[in-house]
Structure 1
């Protein structure tokens, strides 16, 4: 744990986990007219905004691998490492204090969806026999967490520690930033302020999965400050977890599994 990271003043509290149905609510808020096509090119996403604010969304931690979890809800494994995004506001004329205040607004929401390797086709849908299920499952919506990164620099982060992919293959994740500002403008629709694609990650079958990776310094720094993100030593080479670390196998529901074992 990085004890040198300073405690953030007035950090935003992360919201509780939400299931995949939350994504439908967020999608209903999006203004399709405001969205622009996204290319597979990596890098920060920025769009000109009607309020003269430029929202810059970047991926600080890219997804790399996952173990497919099939069509059931048991034995689910999460995408590793968990994606971590950072929001910046790049607007000339705003002081550092003004930008810091705007980054602490609770109205930011980032939604995650799964796309093809080339970034051209959304892959959320499943074959006809499983039309009621989605390929990407878990908490697909993230709220902001204001804290310090591994270098001691303050930032506004969005973490996705509880998303899983049902089927093997190579995919990308698409992230969309929405500002829920209807309390200020009741008649206005929320707009897509930034969007971007992740790097390609691979989902393996259970027998081919190479194991979980060790948590990054960024993830450990955010967890130390109260962010709800698991940390692990990793089991890519059969390593054991350190004391106080979470499960290294990436299981999404360890409590449920322990409860089943206790009833045997």
Structure 2
């Protein structure tokens, strides 16, 4: 999906022309299949949890010689408050050079490399949308933007999918799409897709093949420390 600009006609960003950008900061690695998703003890959330950064750029005098682009301060939560991110799951081929546990089964009839999948989705969207495995996800597939400090102690706005698991084995990628549900945007779509990006490929295996959990990443610790501080305030 090519970057697009949107003119906001109502909401926190009213009167502004904005371009949104998503960047994956953290992607899952080797994960264990969830067999009984309704049992929270047996849930296997993706690890490390997927984290996607949202950046907003205001474009002034778009298309003119005096065009100016400036990034909105991610610490200004009002500008980011209406943004949510949704994920879809797609099966892919085992990446070249992959070293790690192998899934016992790959349920998808057709598998593509990531770049081929993205190209085909752009060209044949209606057909390839039917190939997604989003129904194999369990948990929160839509999350709100939250403000944290990154590893360099700079404020950033992120989407964290800390409660999502996969119910089948295989190699997969996630597609992230963000929307602003608090604003009105001049667009042919009621709520247009403001930005899109993809995760790195990851693998989901059964219990016997799973090598065990790794230590939490620094970014994961930063996020959950923030959640703990907010809970303590409450």
TM-score tier by shorter-chain length is: 0.5 to 0.7
- Structure 1 spans left out of the alignment, 5+ residues: 1-35, 37-45, 126-133, 229-264
1:100 deviates by 4.4
Q: 1:202 to 1:188 in 2, by over 3 A?
A: closer
1:114 deviates by 0.4
User: Which SS does the other structure have where 2:220 is aligned?
Assistant: helix
1:62 deviates by 1.0
Question: TM-score normalized by structure 1?
Answer: 0.59
Distance in 1, Cα, partners of 2:189 & 2:228: 32
Matched, 1:114 2:89: yes
Q: Is the 8 A contact 1:167 1:203 kept in 2?
A: yes
1:222 deviates by 2.0
Q: 1:211 to 1:59 in 2, by over 3 A?
A: same
Matched, 1:123 2:132: yes
Q: 1:61 to 1:72 in 2, by over 3 A?
A: closer
Q: Is the 8 A contact 1:104 1:146 kept in 2?
A: no
User: Which SS does the other structure have where 2:84 is aligned?
Assistant: strand
User: Which SS does the other structure have where 2:76 is aligned?
Assistant: helix
Matched, 1:77 2:44: yes
Matched, 1:101 2:76: yes
Matched, 1:87 2:88: no
1:145 deviates by 0.8
Higher RCO, Cα 8 Å, sep 6+: 2
User: Which SS does the other structure have where 1:66 is aligned?
Assistant: strand
Distance in 1, Cα, partners of 2:71 & 2:5: 19
Q: 1:189 to 1:68 in 2, by over 3 A?
A: same
Q: Is the 8 A contact 2:4 2:19 kept in 1?
A: yes
Distance in 2, Cα, partners of 1:103 & 1:114: 30
Deviates more, 1:191-200 or 1:62-71: 62-71
User: Which SS does the other structure have where 2:48 is aligned?
Assistant: coil
Distance in 2, Cα, partners of 1:206 & 1:60: 27
Distance in 1, Cα, partners of 2:195 & 2:205: 30
Q: Is the 8 A contact 1:147 1:154 kept in 2?
A: yes
Match of 1:67 in 2: 32
Deviates more, 1:111-120 or 1:140-149: 111-120
1:70 deviates by 2.7
1:25-47 C-alpha deviation (Å, 9 max, x unpaired): xxxxxxxxxxx4xxxxxxxxx62
1:91 deviates by 3.6
RMSD (Å), alpha carbons: 2.8
Q: Is the 8 A contact 1:81 1:215 kept in 2?
A: yes
